[in-house]
């Protein structure tokens, strides 16, 4: 935790919507004039695409669980080191994982490879992480301890799988069968490393469809925002001074389902994020300015 060099992490499974949520944060940073260093969690994978495919085959031969969700396929020690260093000094190293031709072209590298490590820009106001492991804790690392605001993006799993299948087929050139195999292969690590994070998060945004998603593997399209609600759970509402009567007034058709949980129409997810997160981030920056 740091007042001078705060860290915000948005964590969620593959296809959960963390990249989509990142855009909402970038809008808030722009409006608040905040200089945020963005870290993409995929850049802390341990292997590039070709190496990973070989490691997957090797693990399958040995009958051991192995996936991008687990510590064996990610350099989580370096992720914790980045968070610790940034938290203490506002400095660190980052790189990018290039998923497709569009991302790879500017770097002159093939898709499925990492860019070189580079120093993060100096003078940033905060570090913003988006990826799989923003709140991960294992026997070897505790990434969560360095995070000042930890957000979970956790659509109900049938919806998450629909989103992943559609995105991986449309943007990464995979077949529905290949994505389904990936989902199956990742299940052990999903249960042991991804979902436990959502008990540590400060706020979870959980999109719940109001249309049938009973068989996510044959869904023709992703349920739209208007075909869903968003369950927003606050682990400790007092920590950030959450004003539920204000939120209920601002978010039409929202309602409280528990003392720490407000439910909003799916189409209001962006507005809900803005009116919930902006004051939290604004106060974070005020505290930083007083400390500098
Ligand atoms: N709130 C939402 N409403 C409708 N569609 C969504 C929503 N969030 C995400 N999606 C869709 O789900 C798919 C996956 O979203 P996104 O790419 O943000 O996931 P991700 O968590 O970043 O995945 P990965 O970690 O694998 O990169 C995309 O097609 C995106 O358009
Ligand atoms: O989405 C991801 C997170 O789970 C991985 O970053 C992505 O799947 C990398 O694997 P590939 O090289 O096959 O795209």
Between CA 256 and CA 258, with CA 257 as vertex, the angle to 5 degrees is: 95
- Domain-wise residue ranges, the chain: 7-291
pLDDT of the residue at 77: 98
**pLDDT at residue 2, as a whole number:** 77
Q: Which pair of structure tokens corresponds to residue 205?
A: 């945004």
In sequence order, what DSSP letters do the residues of 187-215 get, joined into one string? HHHIIIIIGGGGGT-SEEEEEEESS--S-
pLDDT at 1: 77
Query: Which residue of 167, 221, 232, 271 sits with most ligand 1 atoms within 8 Å of its CB, as the best mutation to test the pocket?
Result: 167
Q: What is the pLDDT of residue 233?
A: 98
Residue 64 gets which letter from DSSP?
-
What is the number of the ligand closest to the CA of 266? 1
User: Ligand 2 atom closest to Cα of 67?
Assistant: 4
What pLDDT was estimated at residue 291?
86
Q: How far is the CA of 18 from the centre of ligand 1 (A)?
A: 6
Give the nearest ligand 2 atom to 48 CA.
Answer: 12
Atom 12 of ligand 1, residue of closest alpha carbon: 163
Please, what is the angle between helix 269-291 and helix 18-31, to 10°? Answer: 50
Q: How far apart are the first and last CA of the chain?
A: 16
Q: pTM (2 decimals)? A: 0.94
Q: What is the residue-level pLDDT of the chain in tens, covering all 292 positions?
A: 778 999 999 999 998 988 888 988 999 999 999 999 999 999 999 999 999 999 999 999 999 999 999 999 999 999 999 999 999 999 999 999 999 999 999 999 999 999 999 999 999 999 999 999 999 999 999 999 999 999 999 999 999 999 999 999 998 888 999 999 999 999 999 999 999 999 999 999 999 999 999 999 988 899 999 999 999 999 999 999 999 999 999 999 999 999 999 999 999 999 999 999 999 999 999 999 998 8
Strand partners, 251: none
Which tokens sit at 213? 């998603």
**Rounded-to-integer distance, Cα 265 and Cα 253, Å:** 7
Torsion of CA 126, 16, 252, 214, to 10 degrees: -170
* Residue of 11, 18, 43, 45 to test ligand 2 pocket, by largest number of atoms within 8 Å of CB: 45
CATH class for the domain made up of 7-291: alpha beta
Which tokens is 137 given? 């804790």
Name residues contacting ligand 2 (CB within 6 A). Answer: 14, 42, 49, 68, 97, 99, 112, 132, 172
């Amino acid at each position: 935790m740091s007042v001078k060099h705060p860290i915000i992490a948005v964590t969620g499974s593959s296809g959960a919507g963390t990249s989509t949520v990142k855009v909402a944060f970038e809008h808030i940073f722009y409006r608040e004039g905040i200089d945020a260093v963005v870290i993409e969690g995929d850049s802390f994978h341990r292997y590039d695409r070709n190496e990973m495919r070989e490691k997957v085959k090797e693990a399958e031969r040995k009958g051991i669980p192995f996936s991008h969700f687990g510590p064996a396929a990610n350099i989580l020690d370096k992720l914790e080191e980045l968070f610790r260093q940034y938290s203490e000094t506002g400095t660190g190293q980052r790189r990018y994982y290039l998923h497709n031709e569009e991302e790879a072209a500017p770097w002159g590298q093939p898709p499925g490879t990492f860019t070189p490590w580079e120093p993060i820009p100096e003078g940033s106001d905060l570090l913003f992480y988006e990826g799989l492991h923003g709140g991960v804790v294992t026997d070897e690392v505790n990434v969560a301890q360095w995070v000042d605001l930890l957000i979970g993006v956790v659509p109900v799993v049938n919806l998450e799988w629909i989103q992943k299948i559609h995105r991986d087929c449309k943007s990464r050139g995979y077949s529905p069968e290949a994505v389904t195999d990936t989902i199956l292969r990742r299940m052990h690590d999903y249960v042991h490393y991804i979902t436990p994070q959502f008990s540590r998060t400060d706020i979870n945004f959980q999109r719940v469809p109001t249309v049938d998603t009973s068989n996510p593997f044959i869904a023709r399209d992703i349920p739209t925002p208007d075909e869903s609600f968003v369950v927003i759970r606050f682990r400790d509402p007092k920590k950030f001074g959450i004003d539920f009567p204000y939120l209920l007034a601002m978010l039409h058709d929202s309602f409280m389902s528990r003392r720490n949980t407000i439910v909003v129409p799916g189409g209001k997810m962006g507005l809900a994020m803005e009116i919930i997160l902006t004051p939290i981030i604004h106060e974070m920056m005020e505290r930083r300015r007083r400390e500098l």
